[in-house]
Chain A
Amino acid sequence: MKKSSVSVRTDLRTDDVVVGVVEATRERRQFLKRSLGAAGAVAAVAAAPVRAADPIGKDFPGWSTTPGTPMRSYGQPSKFEEKVLRTVTPSYGPISPGTGTSRTPLQTLNGTITPNGLHFERHHNGVPEIDPAQHKLLIHGMVKKPLVFTVANLLRYPMVSRTCFVECAGNSSANTLPKPAQANCAAIHGLLSGSEWTGVSLSLLLDEAGVEPGAKWFLAEGADSAAMSRSVLLEKAYDDAIIALYQNGERIRPEQGYPLRLLVPGYQGNMNVKWLRRLELAAAPMHTKDETSKYSLLLRDGTARQFDFQLGVKSLITQPSGTLNVPGKGLHEISGLAWSGAGRIVKVEVSSDGGANWREAVLQGPVLSKALTRFRLPWEWSGAPAMLQSRATDEKGHVQPTRAAWSAIYSLANRYHNNMIQTWAVAADGSVSNVYL
């Protein structure tokens, strides 16, 4: 009984809207034909809406007719989104459960800012629980006076924000494997996230310590049990590096480096050293394990590029993408992310035929330097098999390479800086798979 009454009333409403549109159209026609007459007014009266019957509650779902839950001190996503999670991938299993990654579910997110709880993780020996009252940051080496900063002191410094991507240098390395992995966007490309980071300009702290002439590098070292350390060119400190204390407005989470991390926009994710405890200025790089045996780029000829920090121009269609089926023929929005360590994205092109023809996508503003940029393009899918690709260009003129162009430079055993064009094959049944072209 209830159901049928809803059905009837909905039909009436729908007819009502349609009628209204018809009458309005007729009115415009008449207006064009002659001058404004009485016919339009008559039509408006005929289209008066049918009102709901009382009591109205029976026609609404339960959440509209009962009081909701109270306020809570820290919000959580809807329970209906409980499957939107990071993909956790330990590197070595039980011998070191805290070593490995968790990957951002890019295929189920939209916009350009990653929720803090879904920002990817890469740890080399777990997440330390650091008491901010005991943590300190030491700046020493080639400085006039070595300085120690407490977290409380750093919080008193003038702050700046950087909206930028952080991408692990090893992101998308699955696509260097001989056969394309049949996995979702998170598993293949999820070592990528976007945030607004806020903190203290590194140059401000270095100036306070007084940089000695001849200093060209600084070593950044974490306070975790891996004591991860990287050498960074000093000029980055005077460009845009910050000591980040906040992520998307709240204090950085433990897995992102609480209480503070180095942020070097556009550089290898690994260089954004978390749980930062020490900066040592020097004339030369330290050649740490993570800048020699790891995070160096193996080329086809067997030599390796060392200290190649900036991540290349890259884009990726996130919807549709691996394992996300296209639900049927008709109009869909192709959507994805583009970014470059060199600056702003100026163009993203999309192909549905494996790169034979390209159409420029719309970039969603604001387009920020070294930040995730969302692109969108309507796609009328006929139901025929398609090969979807995206290709980004940045403001320095760098164009995202094809798989063949990338492989002409880098060894396929190189697991870093993979910015080759991704191809998603859409089959006639709408299933999406990862393919190499």
Chain B
Amino acid sequence: MFISKRLAVSAVAMLLLGACTTQSTLQQSSVPGPALGRVASADEVKAWSISIPPSGVGLPAGSGSVQQGLAVYTAKCVACHGEKGAGKPADAIAGGKGTLASADAVRTVGSYWPYATTLFDYVRRSMPVNAPMSLSNDEVYAVTAYMLNINAIVPAEAVMNAQTLPQVAMPNRAGFVDYSRK
């Protein structure tokens, strides 16, 4: 009697399970996930696409001169990076040329950085340290021009924009060896 009752309960459970199989099944472990990603809108992607590669693709409209850059630098950068990028308390921006092969190598924008686009990218996303992403594109172009000028990479009358910045030839460009495939 007891056994047959339990069998009856099992049969009901099996029927219920059978009725549910379309909603709940265990899968092979190779199933590629629940696919919950939402397709991003074009505006959403554009707003967050802030990275600038050496080609300059993605550089915004706007421009800035060395002289305008000096004003930005004096107002927002000099307290940490020193007069003419001499450094202290934060990293030096200028100087160090010819030191890389010595034990006292000084790596600055002028002595070390391989691409000028990196300067724009970094300043726009991270600087000034107390108010990142607060500078206008014109201000970023301008202060980039200034930092290149104090390293004697561009002349005092230089203007940086989406066309001129990727063309700046950095002195240590050939000093980098791509190790990603080694």
A residues at B contact (CB < 8 Å): 92-93, 95-96, 99, 124-125, 138-140, 145-149, 153-154, 156-158, 178, 200, 204-205, 207-209, 219, 221, 225-227, 229, 233, 277-278, 280, 282, 284-289, 292-293, 296-298, 300-309, 411-413
Contact = CB atoms under 8 A, between A and B. Distances in A.
B102 to A, nearest CB: 7
B36 A285 contact: no
B40 A147 contact: yes
B118 interface: yes
A233 B180 contact: yes
Contacts of B125: 226-227, 229
A221 B51 contact: yes
The 9 residue pairs across chains A and B that have the minimum distance between CB atoms? A302-B101, A147-B37, A302-B100, A413-B105, A307-B180, A153-B36, A308-B179, A289-B122, A227-B125
Interface stretch (B10-18, B148-156, B170-178): B170-178
Nearest to B179: A308
Contact of A226 (B100, B126, B176, B180): B126
Given A157-B33, A225-B132, A303-B177, 13 more contacts: A125-B126, A140-B40, A156-B36, A157-B34, A208-B35, A229-B51, A233-B180, A285-B53, A286-B52, A288-B121, A292-B113, A293-B112, A412-B103
A305 B175 CA distance: 9
B118 A302 contact: no
Interface stretch (B42-50, B65-73, B138-146, B157-165): B42-50
19 contacts: A96-B129, A125-B126, A125-B129, A138-B40, A146-B39, A146-B44, A153-B36, A154-B36, A178-B103, A208-B33, A287-B114, A288-B121, A288-B122, A293-B112, A304-B112, A306-B177, A308-B179, A308-B182, A309-B180
Given A225-B126, A292-B113, A148 B79 contact: no
B37 A287 contact: no
A92 B100 contact: no
B155 to A, nearest CB: 23
A305 B129 contact: no
Contacts of B101: 300-302, 411
B53 A282 contact: yes
B129 A306 contact: no
A436 to B, nearest CB: 14
A93 B50 CA distance: 29
Given A92-B80, A138-B45, A157 B121 contact: no
Q: Pick from A298, A304, A307 the residue with the most CB of B within 10 Å.
A: A304
A413 B37 contact: no
A411 B175 contact: no
A278 B48 contact: yes
Given A140-B49, A147-B39, A208-B32, A298 B129 contact: no
Interface residues of chain B: helix, strand, loop or mixed (majority)? loop
A207 B51 contact: no
Contacts of B118: 287-289, 292-293
Q: Pick from A277, A293, A412 the residue with the most CB of B within 10 Å.
A: A293
Contacts of B117: 287
B54 interface: yes
A413 B103 contact: yes
Contacts of B51: 219, 221, 229, 280, 286, 288
B178 A99 contact: no
A308 B179 CA distance: 5
A300 B175 CA distance: 12
Contacts of A225: 126, 132-133
A146 B175 contact: no
A96 to B, nearest CB: 5
A306 B34 contact: no
B105 A149 contact: no
Q: Pick from B40, B90, B117, B125 the residue with the most CB of A within 10 Å.
A: B40
Contacts of A289: 118, 121-122, 126
Nearest to A309: B180
B67 to A, nearest CB: 25
A264 B114 CA distance: 25
Nearest to A203: B32
B77 to A, nearest CB: 11
A219 B180 CA distance: 14
A145 B178 CA distance: 30
B105 A148 contact: no
Contacts of A308: 179-180, 182
A138 B44 contact: yes
Given A93-B89, A149-B37, A153-B37, A303 B175 contact: yes
B176 A296 contact: yes
Given A287-B53, A287-B117, A303 B45 contact: no
